[in-house]
């Protein structure tokens, strides 16, 4: 649900004159990472050792920086609900494929069925708003290409972070990756004059407060990893696919303009297929764990 709220807020923030998706990411993400690391060192009195694995941390942070920027930017272009419906299933499928290729994880029949269903959900979502998306995107990239790049970047980051979690605590690794990936985006923001806009004092306050949202998302993810495991955490997180659409329909119902798919029914079907596909991909790991 936090991811859904994050996407919806990003859509509203980027509609404010002077605030771009890069500015939102470049300000809020490093603040969230710094707060998480500070809480660990100051309040929990834990030593930071994650920076000793700087190669893994930097590699994962570079991919995560690209993934976060593409996520926020696609929310700006196509709306929070469309982005969630498209990216959710695709990211899970790409993570599974990269884990099979690089980490030598075995693909099982149930997972392959989940991949097919998740991709079907992705295609249904594309069809639910294909005409509007074609009008909105003026570049040669289609929405499928755009989300594929985001999914690949996110999946590559997850592969590096998986190895980092094996060496360090999840809270430490998550905080450090947020900080480094955020600083990378901040550096790009400074080096790109066209992206460096001049928001007012009120806008800076909004950006600072927004950093609490990705911070909350990271904390809940860490708690989920520690208490219910990675598979169930990922499955629950996939519910944001439909939650985002629900939130935007609710906002539109009370008179607030939001960017939603043209064909709501097809979008809901696509989102439901995506959630089912993600569940089937992860449930196999849970069953094997219980047998062990």
Exposed, middle or buried: residue 134 (CB in 10 Å: 0-12, 13-18, 19+)?
exposed
> What does the pLDDT look like over 230-253, one tens digit per residue?
556 666 666 676 777 788 788 888
Q: Is the pLDDT of residue 260 over 60?
A: yes
Cα 214 from Cα 59, distance rounded (Å): 20
**pLDDT for residue 289:** 37
**pLDDT for residue 197:** 59
> What does the pLDDT look like over 174-226, one tens digit per residue?
899 999 999 999 999 888 766 555 667 888 888 889 999 998 888 777 676 56
Query: Mean pLDDT, the chain, as a whole number?
Result: 78
pLDDT grade for 31, boundaries at 50, 70 and 90: very high
Task: Return the domain boundaries, the chain.
Answer: 2-291
> What does the pLDDT look like over 146-186, one tens digit per residue?
566 777 888 788 788 878 888 888 889 889 999 999 999 99
Cα 230 from Cα 200, distance rounded (Å): 40
DSSP result, 36-53: HHHIIIIIS-PPP-GGGG
Check: pTM over 0.75? Answer yes or no: yes
Cα 100 from Cα 284, distance rounded (Å): 14
Cα 213 from Cα 222, distance rounded (Å): 14
Counting DSSP H helices and E strands in the chain, the numbers are: 13, 0
> What does the pLDDT look like over 128-141, one tens digit per residue?
665 444 444 444 44
Q: Is the pLDDT of residue 144 over 80?
A: no
**pLDDT for residue 141:** 47
Half-sphere exposure of 148 (CA within 13 A, CB side): 8
């Amino acid at each position: 649900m936090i991811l859904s709220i994050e996407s919806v807020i990003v859509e509203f923030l980027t509609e404010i004159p002077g605030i771009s998706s890069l500015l939102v990411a470049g300000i809020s993400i490093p603040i969230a990472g710094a707060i998480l690391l500070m809480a660990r060192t100051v309040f929990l009195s834990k030593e930071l050792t994650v920076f000793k694995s700087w190669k893994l941390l930097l590699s994962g942070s570079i991919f995560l920086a690209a993934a976060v920027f593409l996520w926020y930017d696609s929310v700006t272009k196509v709306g929070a609900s469309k982005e969630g419906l498209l990216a959710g299933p695709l990211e899970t499928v790409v993570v599974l494929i990269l884990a099979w290729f690089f980490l030598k994880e075995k693909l099982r029949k149930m997972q392959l069925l989940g991949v097919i269903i998740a991709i079907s959900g992705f295609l249904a979502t594309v069809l639910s708003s294909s005409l509007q998306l074609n009008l909105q995107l003026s570049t040669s990239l289609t929405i499928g290409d755009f989300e594929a790049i985001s999914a690949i970047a996110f999946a590559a980051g997850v592969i590096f972070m998986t190895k980092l979690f094996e060496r360090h605590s999840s809270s430490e690794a998550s905080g450090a990756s947020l900080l480094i990936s955020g600083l990378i985006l901040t550096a790009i923001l400074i080096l790109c004059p066209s992206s460096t806009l001049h928001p007012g004092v009120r806008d800076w306050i909004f950006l600072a407060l927004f950093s609490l949202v990705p911070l909350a998302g990271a904390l809940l993810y860490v708690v989920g990893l520690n208490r219910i495991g990675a598979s169930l955490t990922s499955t629950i997180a996939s519910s944001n696919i439909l939650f985002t659409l629900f939130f935007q329909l609710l906002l539109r119902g009370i008179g607030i303009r939001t960017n939603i798919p043209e064909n709501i029914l097809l979008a809901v079907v696509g989102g439901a297929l995506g959630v089912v596909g993600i569940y089937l991909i992860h449930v196999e790991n849970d069953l094997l764990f219980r047998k062990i």
